[in-house]
Amino acid sequence: MNMKNQLKNEKWFRAKEYGWGWYPSTWEGWVLTLGYIIIAIGGATLAAANPTTPFTRIFFPFLVLFTAVFIFICYTRGEKPEWRWGGKRIFKKK
């Protein structure tokens, strides 16, 4: 397998052992997650500091869209999400 195919198949996010969701497992996943956190906290801080500016009205719809994009990337670049407890699947398909 060449390097290009190996990088293409690498999962950025691994499924959590407890509950539902992902955690970053590669540097790409960590960069994406930290970027999301910085933008979300920074924007919320600016919106709270200046509640009467147009930025506040634009930021929250942007945050909803940004969160949806973040979840979509986690879904496409991560393992299949499912409810787990201790690494075992809770709801098994028949």
Can you list the pairs that 84-93 forms with residues at least 24 positions away whose Cβ atoms lie under 8 Å?
84/15, 84/16, 84/17, 84/18, 84/19, 84/20, 85/17, 85/18, 85/19, 86/17, 86/18, 87/17
7 pLDDT band, cuts 50/70/90, is low
61-91, pLDDT tens digit by residue?
Answer: 999 999 999 999 999 999 888 887 876 666 6
